[in-house]
Structure 1
Amino acid sequence: LEIRVMPYTHKQLLMVARDVTQMHQLEGARRNFFANVSHELRTPLTVLQGYLEMMDEQPLEGAVREKALHTMREQTQRMEGLVKQLLTLSKIEAAPTHLLNEKVDVPMMLRVVEREAQTLSQKKQTFTFEIDNGLKVSGNEDQLRSAISNLVYNAVNHTPEGTHITVRWQRVPHGAEFSVEDNGPGIAPEHIPRLTERFYRV
């Protein structure tokens, strides 16, 4: 609770009380988010630095060289993904209010996400995309794409080889419904109520 006292009249004071709980929670979540990102970036940077120091001391050849190049390429892609997430977050937060009600072609968006998921999976999982091709919605395209792609890519990244992933975009009595179904480990029950919090990471 934030309380401010200020002059009101000659012999009176005005006290203003404001509940800042949510603001502090959001700021704490933001700090945690960027701390996590910093940690995630530090790991691939450490790997890259290690290999560069090895290459500086002696030339790498044959299988050792190929392994080093493959690992450095993977870590570079990992950092690129993190930077893209940060740029997407910044873009979403800066989006003008009027873009929240633009017409979004979700079926076309899902066809792109399907191709990207197939590439990301490298045939380790199989997919079924059940899409109502006539079902479009009003909203912010960047926000919807970020939410949809994150759910699909999480299924790819956190399920074992041989998993079948089903993605559905369908009309329901109360509007539209998007779902991703797989047989991965799932999310622990204690995290579920907080999934819609900004910056919250499981």
Structure 2
Amino acid sequence: MTQGKSFSARTLDTNALKSFAHPLRLRIYELLDEHGPSTATRLAALLGQNTGATSYHLRELARHGMIEVVPEMGRGKEKYWRITPGGFSYGEPDSDPETASALEFLLDDLVRQRGEELARWREEEAGAPEEWVRVSGFGRRSLRLTPEETGELRDEVFAVLERYRALSDRREVESPAPRDPSLGRVVIHFDVLPVGAGRGTPGETTSPGS
């Protein structure tokens, strides 16, 4: 990973990385992101798990600050959980093999999730409301840049995303439910990849046999 400015509220520490690198916890986090605040019972039904197991994994996520209880929701012992506002980043690669393995697992899952979300939108687009189709978009650019320019580009884009993340987080905290029907869950995929960096100079091509 490229060292740069963090635009998230926190960077996951070693213990949080290892804890998060668990298939069921990742799925729970995805469901909370997709559906908003949920109880252990509802999540268990969506996952095909028992409530006890789901509650345990929710507590583990909360222990590392990934999710939190929504104080305005729930009755008695019933708890509604939501993603902790502010976002997070995975940080830099670690020399500890176990932590490095957890980070690789999380990054591979991120690639998997992005592919699934793109494929799902391609299927849903034809039946989606026209106002959402109009503002959606796919984009790819191939540029010739220095490492310094690439870092500046990344930071400028993340600064824009941070503005809208803060707006979204305020809405989640101020009005957890019911949700404004005009709001939609919008996913932004953004990657900066120096193509070919692992084979030499990024963007450089070699002829067969050279």
Per the normalisation by structure 2, the TM-score is 0.28
Structure number with larger C-alpha Rg: 1
Greater per-residue strand proportion:
1
Higher relative contact order (CA 8 A, sep 6+): 2
Per the normalisation by structure 1, the TM-score is 0.29
